[in-house]
């Protein structure tokens, strides 16, 4: 049995049945990280000793009859945007290179309380700003399917680590597609919950009205298991909704009879990779064969989504990143003349180029004389985009579309063209703007052997329907469980 290649579900069953031990599987994964992550660069911090201590503790608890559930003793990873007490939290930036938080994020604590073994912190685009994990201060992550290509971003380290079996799953964040797009490019399952379903407390902020934490896993069932653990209200996050959290694994059936699936015509964009379009159309036929009624729908304001996002997100980033001033914590420039000089040099030296670009975009959009023309107008368009989805969900139960218009591109291919890079998320951004749940899962391989994904979107707080459609497709498509050649 090759332990690193297990799913969370299978590992949990074997651990519960005492057929394998948490220490055994943790050691196997740490060994694999040591052997191949030097090339892939999926981790910023590997918690070798700490992970083994957690595994030993889980093993003793289970031996004494204190089994906590399906994550007890299961090794997973965290995107380095979630703080964990006494563990470095860099957010992929020089600005936080030496930051050691004194407390843990709600997501982190829920996983620890469930008995999960935290292997380490995954690489990411700096402050989650990017679509390729090339903006990380700690170097780019490589796609395990082709190491000349990007894994997507900003949760590229989490997606690549999951695909390469360097963890059994990871938790990332999705602001404009940062879970689903890398999941598509790396051939894994990536799920963004409804905005407010998972606490953002202790999750380093990029754009507060868009950010949401979610799982990256090998299967839809694993995604449901992780969401069961991290979802739920939290009084420390005022945007986190106090709504009942169902057992999402109960929605995993293969029967789609009575389900209406909408296909938005606007999501089949000009310039889309023909392999991606063919894969999506084949996926639609699989859903039809499973009993789903296929309905063509229109989301007419989709064309404004990228423009809207790149006003709202940078504006919120401009506000959120103002706290990194060299005074309280994080990087501080040396050899400065006065306070203002220290501010300027700290931010000039501590932030990378993409982060500076977005701070300037956001500051401009919020400045006097431009607020109404840009930021306020973007909020109005956001409402129109959400209304498109509201109308669509009066006719259908779920929406299915390609996740990314292309497969993984070459490292360095788009770094000199920000607009081209931003368009990588053209199909994922509307979901964030409307606050919907969405999941990307493998739907094929391109003619060059690169993964392709489709996404399933559902009504707010209806993750159950989303999981039902995704699981039914996964079980009948034949694309689940494909491994990269690492």
- Does residue 454 sit in helix, strand or coil? strand
Is-catalytic flag, 184? no
Tokens 């050649």 belong to: 485
156-163 helix and 22-40 helix, angle to the nearest 10 degrees: 120
**What's this model's pTM, rounded to 2 decimal places?**
0.97
Position 276 scores a pLDDT of 97
Burial level of 38, CB count in 10 A (0-12/13-18/19+)? exposed
Write the CATH number of the domain with boundaries 3-251: 3.90.1300.10
| Two structure tokens written together for 181 | 């797009």
Position 325 scores a pLDDT of 94
Position 1 scores a pLDDT of 74
| Two structure tokens written together for 87 | 């563990």
- Cα distances (Å, whole numbers) of residue 42 to 33, 122, 161, 165, 452: 9, 6, 6, 11, 20
| Two structure tokens written together for 17 | 């049945």
- The Cβ of residue 422 has, within 10 Å, a number of other Cβ atoms equal to 18
Is-catalytic flag, 477? no
List the one residue out of 155, 177, 154 whose CA is nearest residue 430.
177
Position 486 scores a pLDDT of 86
DSSP structural state of residue 102? S
Q: Tell me how far apart the alpha carbons of residues 477 and 415 are, in angstroms, rounded to a whole number.
A: 35
Residue 8 near residue 217 (C-beta atoms within 8 A):
yes
Residue among 9, 10, 79, 142 flagged as catalytic:
79
Q: Give average pLDDT by consecutive 10-residue segment, the chain, 486 residues.
A: 95 97 98 98 98 98 96 98 98 97 98 98 98 98 98 98 98 98 98 98 98 98 98 97 96 94 93 95 97 97 96 97 95 95 97 97 94 95 98 98 97 91 94 98 97 98 98 95 91
**Could you give the strand order of the β-sheet that contains 43-46, starting from the edge strand earlier in sequence?**
43-46, 117-122, 75-79, 169-173, 213-217, 189-192, 438-445, 451-458, 398-402, 260-264, 293-297
Residue 440 near residue 158 (C-beta atoms within 8 A):
no
Q: Tell me how far apart the alpha carbons of residues 171 and 340 are, in angstroms, rounded to a whole number.
A: 38
- Cα distances (Å, whole numbers) of residue 73 to 49, 57, 390, 449: 15, 8, 41, 34
- Cα distances (Å, whole numbers) of residue 46 to 29, 75, 78, 366, 430: 11, 12, 10, 39, 34
Residue among 104, 178, 223, 318 flagged as catalytic:
178
Is-catalytic flag, 154? yes
Q: What is the CA radius of gyration of the chain?
A: 21
Pairing state between β 451-458 and 438-445: antiparallel
User: What are the domain boundaries of the chain?
Assistant: 3-251
């Amino acid at each position: 049995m090759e332990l690193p290649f297990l799913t969370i579900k299978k590992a949990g069953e074997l651990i519960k049945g005492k057929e394998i031990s948490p220490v055994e599987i943790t050691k196997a994964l740490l060994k694999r990280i040591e052997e191949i992550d030097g090339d892939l660069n999926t981790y910023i911090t590997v918690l070798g000793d700490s992970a083994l201590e957690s595994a030993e503790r889980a093993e003793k608890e289970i031996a004494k009859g204190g089994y906590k559930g399906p994550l007890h003793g299961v090794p997973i990873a965290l995107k380095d945007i979630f703080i964990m007490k006494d563990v470095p939290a860099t957010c992929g930036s020089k600005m936080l290179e030496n930051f050691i938080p004194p407390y843990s994020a709600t997501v982190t604590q829920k996983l620890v309380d469930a008995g999960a073994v935290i292997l380490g912190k995954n690489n990411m685009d700096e402050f989650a700003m990017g679509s390729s994990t090339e903006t990380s201060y700690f170097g780019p992550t490589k796609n395990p399917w082709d190491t000349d290509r990007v894994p997507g971003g900003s949760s590229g380290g989490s997606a690549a680590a999951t695909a390469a079996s360097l963890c059994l799953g990871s938790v990332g964040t999705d602001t404009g597609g940062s879970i689903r797009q890398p999941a598509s490019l790396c051939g894994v399952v990536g799920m963004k919950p409804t905005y407010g379903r998972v606490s953002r407390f202790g999750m380093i902020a990029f754009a507060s009205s868009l950010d949401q934490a979610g799982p990256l896993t090998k299967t839809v069932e694993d995604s449901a298991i992780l969401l069961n653990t991290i979802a739920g209200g939290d009084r420390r996050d005022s945007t986190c909704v106090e709504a009942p959290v169902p057992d999402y694994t109960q929605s995993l059936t293969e029967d789609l009879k009575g389900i209406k699936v909408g296909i938005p015509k606007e999501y089949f964009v000009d310039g889309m990779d023909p392999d991606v379009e063919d894969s999506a159309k084949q996926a639609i036929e699989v859903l039809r064969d499973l009993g789903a009624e296929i309905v063509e729908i229109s989301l007419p304001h989709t064309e404004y989504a990228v423009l809207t996002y790149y006003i709202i997100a940078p504006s919120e980033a401009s506000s959120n990143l103002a706290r990194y001033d060299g005074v309280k914590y994080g990087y501080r420039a040396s050899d400065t003349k006065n306070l203002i000089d220290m501010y300027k040099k700290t931010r000039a030296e501590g932030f990378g180029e993409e982060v500076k670009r977005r701070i300037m975009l956001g500051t401009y959009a919020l400045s006097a004389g431009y607020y109404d023309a840009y930021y306020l107008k973007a909020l109005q368009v956001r409402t129109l985009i959400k209304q498109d989805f509201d109308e669509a969900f009066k006719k259908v139960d779920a929406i299915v579309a390609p996740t990314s218009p292309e497969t993984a591109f070459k490292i360095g291919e788009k770094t000199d063209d920000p607009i081209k890079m931003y368009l990588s998320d053209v199909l994922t951004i509307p979901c964030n703007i409307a606050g919907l749940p969405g999941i990307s899962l493998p739907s094929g391989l391109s003619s060059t052997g690169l993964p392709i994904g489709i996404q399933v979107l559902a009504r707010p707080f209806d993750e159950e329907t989303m999981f039902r459609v995704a699981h039914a497709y996964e079980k009948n498509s034949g694309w689940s469980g494909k491994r990269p050649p690492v």
